């Protein structure tokens, strides 16, 4: 039996006293939106392949590429507002 936890980051509260954190959280929500879109497009590809629709698969791959670019642009933008948090290195 699967149980779903009905809590998400987008429901969290950010104190308005730090406007940079508020901006960073809004940018993060938009990054999440890009990744959610990518997930949906990735799930669409097998359906199009099953139909033999190579043209549409190519178009979806192009859309995914655009979404990845959007996520990168937003991540660079977020660095201005996230308090200098660096990406961890392995």
What percent of the chain is predicted at pLDDT more than 90? 61
Give the per-residue pLDDT at 5.
47
CB atoms within 10 A of CB 24: 20
Indicate the pLDDT class of residue 37, thresholds 50, 70 and 90.
very high
Give the per-residue pLDDT at 7.
53
- Kindly report the average pLDDT of the chain as a whole number: 87
Q: pLDDT by residue (tens digit) across 45-80? A: 999 999 999 999 999 999 999 999 999 999 999 999
| pLDDT beyond 50 at 10 | yes
Q: How far is CA 7 from CA 10, 39, 72, 80, 86, in A?
A: 8, 20, 26, 28, 26
The three-state secondary structure class of 17 is coil
Place of tokens 């497009």: 41
> What DSSP designation does 85 have?
P
The whole-model pTM stands at 0.76
Which H or E run contains 61?
Answer: helix 54-78
Indicate the pLDDT class of residue 8, thresholds 50, 70 and 90.
low
């Amino acid at each position: 039996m699967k149980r779903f936890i009905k809590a998400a980051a987008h429901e969290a509260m950010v104190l308005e006293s730090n406007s940079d954190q508020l901006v960073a959280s809004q940018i993060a929500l938009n990054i999440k939106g890009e990744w959610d879109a990518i997930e949906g497009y990735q799930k669409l590809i097998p359906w199009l392949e099953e139909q033999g629709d190579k043209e549409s698969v190519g178009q979806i791959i192009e859309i995914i590429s655009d979404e990845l670019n959007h996520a990168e642009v937003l991540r660079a933008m977020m660095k201005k507002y996230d308090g200098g948090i660096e990406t961890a290195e392995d």
